[in-house]
Amino acid sequence: PKTDIVFLKVHKSASSTVMNILFRFGEMHNLTFAFPIGGGNQLFYPRHFLARFVEGFSPSSPRRFNILCHHMRFLQPEVHKVVSSSAFYFSILRNPVKLMESSFAYYKGASAFSRVRSLEEFLRQPYHYYNPTDGDRHYARNLMTFDFGFNPDGEVSAERVKLMLKAIEASFDLLLISEYFDESMVLLKEMLCWDLDSVVSFPLNIRDSSTKSPLSDTVVEKIKDWNRLDWEIYTHFNRTFWERIDRDIGRERMQREVKALRERQGELARTCLQGMGSVAPKHIKDSSLKPLQHGSARILGYNLKQGLDKETERMCRRLVTPELQYSSALYKKQF
C-alpha cells in the first residue's frame, strides 16, 4: 500500500469525506501528517503553500511527512520539501455549477456574496459585487483554479487553458470527480493498493437539502461563463477520469467494485448508525460529533448506536468524526 500521499483538498467537492479516509488510514498505520503550525485546519490558506507553514518542518533538517491533506493553495516546489519525492498526488473536482451554488450558501459572508440576496442577483451583474482585489474573492469565482494555484481572474485563451491543464497533469497522478464518488474511491483504492475498507466512508460536511435551490438553465450557463477556467479543468479531467477507468479497470469490473463498496457501506451504516443516515445538527446527541456550522448551510452529522463493543465503537466513531475534531485529535497524538 502507498503511504506517502498529497491530497489537494479542493473546497466544496466532497473533500472532507476524502480527508476522513486519509485520517483513518494514517491513524491505523501510524503515519505522520503535515499539520498546519499550531494545529489549525488550513495551511495559511488562501496564501500559496510554503513548507514553513507545516508544524515540525525545519529547512536545516527537512523532515518528510507521510500525508499532506489540509486545505492549501497548491505550490509544488514547496510541497516537495515536506513529502517524499515518490509521494502520490491526487485531488478531487466538482461540477463548477454545483460548486458555485454550494459556495454561495457556504461562504455567504464572503465580500462578493454578502450584499446579494441570491446567486441569480449576483450573476446578473457580478462586477457590481465582485472585486478582483478582495482577499476572499476566490470563493466567488473559479475556486478550483485558485486552489490549484492559478489566477482565478486570468484570461481564458486556448493557449492559457492548455498550459494550465498541462501543469495540473504534470503535478497530479490522479484527479477524481465528486459526482462519481464511489467510482472515484474504487479508482483511488486501485492506484494506492489499498483494501476496500480503507476507502469506505459516510458523507461528511454535507448540507441539508432545504438550503439547496434548483437553478434555471440561464443561471447554469451564466455560472459556466463566469467560472470558465473551472469549467475547462472539470470537463477535461472528467473525460480523462473515464478514459482511465476504461484503460485500467473496465466498466464491468468497475460496476462490481462499486456494488461491493456500497454493500460494505450499507453494512457499516447498519452496524454504526442510529437510523442509518445523517441528521440535522440539532439532533446530534454527542457534541463531539457535531460538525462546524458555516454560512447559511446546515451541515449534517451522525448519531452512533448505543452499546457497541469498544473496538466497533472506535471504528464507527472514526467514520463519523467531523474533520476539525479528527484533525485536532490526530495533531495532539502526533505532537
pLDDT value, residue 54: 97
In tens digits, the chain (335 residues) has pLDDT values of 999 999 999 999 999 999 999 999 999 999 999 999 999 999 999 999 999 999 999 999 888 999 999 999 999 999 999 999 999 999 999 999 999 999 999 999 999 999 999 999 999 999 999 999 999 999 999 999 999 999 999 999 999 999 999 999 999 999 999 999 999 999 999 999 999 999 999 999 888 877 777 899 999 999 999 999 999 999 999 999 999 999 999 999 999 999 999 999 999 999 999 987 899 999 999 999 999 987 777 899 999 999 999 999 999 999 999 999 999 999 999 99
The answer, yes or no, to whether the previous bond of 46 is cis (omega within 30 of 0) is: yes
pLDDT value at residue 211 = 73
Percent with pLDDT over 70 in the chain: 100
Q: Where are the domains of the chain?
A: 5-334
- Beta bridge mates, 207: 299
Q: What local confidence, expressed as pLDDT, does residue 110 receive?
A: 96
- Fold entry, domain 5-334: Rossmann fold (3.40.50)
Q: pTM of the entire structure? A: 0.96
Q: Determine the Cα–Cα distance for residues 32 and 83; give it in Å rounded to an integer.
A: 10
pLDDT the model gives residue 196:
97
Distance (Å, rounded) from C-alpha 83 to C-alpha 135? 29
What integer pLDDT is reported at residue 207 of this predicted model? 85
C-alpha cell at 280: 440535522
Q: Is 39 left (phi over 0), alpha (psi -120 to 50) or beta?
A: left
d(CA 136, CA 112): 8
| 8 Å CB contact between 20 and 31 | no
Question: Cβ-count burial of 89 within 10 angstroms (0-12 exposed, 13-18 middle, 19+ buried)?
Answer: buried
